[in-house]
A = this chain, B = another copy of it.
Amino acid sequence: MDKSKVLELLSKFISIQSVSADSKRRKEITKAVDFLKNQFKEMGVDVKIIQKGQSPPLILGIYHSDHGRDLNGNRKTIGIYGHYDIQPEDPVDEWESPPFELTIKDGKLYGRGVADNKGHVIQNLTSIKHLIKVNKLKNNIVFIFEGEEEVGSDNFENYVKEAKDILSRVDVFYVTDTGMYKKNIPQIFYGLRGLVYFELEVDIGNKDLHSGIYGNRVLNPVQILAHLLAKMKDEKTNRVLIPGFYNEVRSITQDERNNFKSFARSDEEEKKTAGVYKMISLDKDQAYLSSKFYPSLDVNGIVSGHTREGAKTIIPRKATL
């Protein structure tokens, strides 16, 4: 298969700003859907779109390897999951290349979504396209691409229910939204931890106050959040202190420990890749497992009060975490 054509396709997909978190870019979501629809048509794959209101739709691409039969035939049906939405590109000024332009540097591809998950989607589309072309596809394929993965997949469950007649015929699902930890060591993921994301706002009143006049008289919302966060995580062990947080975490088997040993990176390597000063761990034997098995708790953003140049003596009226 022609590598340049694959890159051209990825480049086009990357140029679409399908940031699901940004309601102002709903048109870009539509562009991404149209892009995928066209791909399916070119491949001779049937398309089904399920959408609720203005939410990013679910796109199904259904290919019957044995034309004339339906998915109930003798052949196995493989489901391929992916998502066409991407994370916001901010902070923009820290990108070394334009986020929505596919850039190749030292043999690596850069662009918002290359690693999560547009790159994988293109891999899937082009490899299936190739198998169809050379007449070597032995299975039925059901592509299932959503556009809300980066914002919590609010409608996913309902979409899946609506597509039950198609999806129930899938024998095995292949989730492409993962990565390879070490080059040339293929990995099979057999579990994902899931995610709970929430925003917390602490309000002390209805206006910012002068800290010289109201200091010691009103609570500071950032201070309230600080006390709250300090109670949520142990400063020394880094363990989450919220009661019950680890209750349903099963222990890691010896087999799993052995398997993971084979490709775990050293803390030195991790430090370099992450670009941080220090690595921490929750697992006393295999640091690497800390982020693979144990649930984690993190602040993804916080903002309160005066954050621009210079000084401003205020007690902010609210803090958002």
Contacts and interface: CB of A to CB of B under 8 A. Distances in A.
Contact of A215 (B19, B151, B223, B298): B298
A301 interface: yes
A35 B157 CA distance: 66
A190 interface: no
A281 B217 CA distance: 5
A216 B94 contact: no
B291 A300 contact: no
Given A217-B270, A274-B209, A311-B197, A316 B301 contact: yes
Given A298-B211, A311-B21, A313-B300, A280 B218 contact: yes
A302 to B, nearest CB: 5
Given A302-B307, A308-B90, A217 B274 contact: yes
Interface string A298-319: 1111111111111111111101
Nearest to A288: B217
A280 B216 contact: yes
Interface stretch (A74-82, A101-109, A161-169, A229-237): A229-237
Contacts of A227: 226, 229-230, 233, 235
Interface string A228-266: 111101010010000000000000000000000000000
B223 A291 contact: no
Given A214-B291, A218-B280, A21 B230 contact: no
Contacts of A11: none
A192 B287 CA distance: 53
Contacts of A281: 216-217
A188 to B, nearest CB: 18
Contact of A306 (B88, B222, B279, B306): B88
Which of A204, A226, A238 has its CB near the most chain B CB atoms (within 10 A)? A226
Interface in A40-94: 87-88, 90-91, 94
The 7 closest A-B pairs by CB, nearest first: A21-B310, A215-B296, A205-B276, A230-B230, A301-B305, A226-B229, A301-B306
